[in-house]
Structure 1
Amino acid sequence: MIGLEIRPLRDDDPPVIAAAFEKLGWPKPESQYRRYLEEQAAGTRDVLVATVDGAYAGYVTVRWESPYEPFAGIPEIQDFNVLPKLRRQGIGSALMDAAEALVAERSPVVGIGVGLYPDYGQAQRMYVRRGYLPDGRGLIYDGRQVPPMEMVRNDDSATLMFTKTLR
């Protein structure tokens, strides 16, 4: 895409990103991105921001120590978002390419989780097309495996976890 830039999260990004999601009615406060800046400075998370012609378009983060226990030692791609009006234009693929390249500098494998309700449908399909495979542990809720017959709420905490070999 012409005019697409992928760069690290900057100090002036949090209010811009939060405002973009507020317009969509999504609960992503500025404080979340301030925390991401702190984590980026500490080296525990990297945040890649996509802009098109200088305007915010999306972001993805790499958490270097995944809180998901089975991913011990495997960095995890988290919080991947492209503004809905800009989807299916290659921005998400460019963000994922950049995140995977960043992880490949330090790890041969990357992990990712994906939600289960229809809002995550495009992401589910994208991850499979990119070569991500389920980790085989089934439904995960708040980072823990859900035992058979246990009821859980189908919200953002319900995920399937995937891994991909990068090199």
Structure 2
Amino acid sequence: MRRLSEEDVDTVSLAARELGGHKPRSQYERYLSEQGQGVRGVLVAYLDGVFAGYVTLNRRSDYTPFRDGGIPEIQDLNVLPRLRRRGVATRLMERVERVAFGESNVIGIGVGLTPDYGPAQRLYVLHGFVPDGEGLMLNGRPVLRGEEVLLDDAVLYMTKVSRPV
């Protein structure tokens, strides 16, 4: 496991096709640039020399409560489907949490609500994250009771507080 480097950009971008969705090379170039500016940290994981996954730590979250509270947000945790269930996501989470807790006593994360996010939901709860109390968010605003939403865009934000040593 190490920080994203220029040499990783093509590897990650090609491998990301296995993750589904549209993640262009420019996304990883932006991540690398933001890492250089100190805005985002990016960790990449390799398993037996093969790229396995990555996670980022956004120090300037777009989610207002995190940004206003100076809470770094763990984002974009991804492990290639063929390499899941081998502890890669857990190790990425442990490492990014250590980095984040070196900067703040509270860290945040957002998770989707559809079944494909089920493993992430479980992982975050098992790592001690709890809902932040702001409710379900849609494009940065709270979802109101009775409102109809497209779950693809809905996110539940969660936080974790460091324990005193």
Q: Say if 2:61 is the partner of 1:70.
A: no
Structure number with higher helix proportion = 2
| Match among 108, 112, 116 for residue 111 of structure 1 | 108
Residue of structure 1 equivalent to 2:4: 9
Q: Percent identity?
A: 53
SS of aligned partner of 2:77: strand
Structure 1 position 26, deviation (Å) = 2.8
SS of equivalent residue, structure 2 residue 76: strand
1:21 to 7, 13, 16: 16
Establish whether residue 165 from structure 1 lines up as the match of residue 165 from structure 2: no
Q: How many Å apart are 1:136 and its aligned residue?
A: 1.4
**For each residue in 1:93-114, what CA deviation from the matched residue of structure 2 results, as whole angstroms up to 9, or x when unmatched?**
1000000000111101100000
Alignment partner, residue 122 of structure 2: 125
Q: Which amino acid aligns with 1:85?
A: R
The structural deviation recorded for 1:13 is 1.2
Alignment of 1:12-161 (within 5 A): 12-71=7-66, 72=68, 73-155=70-152, 157-161=153-157
**Matched residue count:** 161
Task: Calculate the aligned-residue CA RMSD, in Å.
Answer: 1.1
Q: Could you tell me how far apart the structure 1 residues matched to 2:99 and 2:50 are?
A: 23
Contact 1:46 1:62 in 2 (8 A): yes
The CA distance in 2 between the partners of 1:46 and 1:23, in whole Å, is 23
TM (norm. structure 2) is 0.93
Q: TM-score, normalised by structure 1?
A: 0.92
Given that 2:111 and 2:120 are in contact with CA atoms closer than 8 Å, whether structure 1 keeps it comes out as: yes
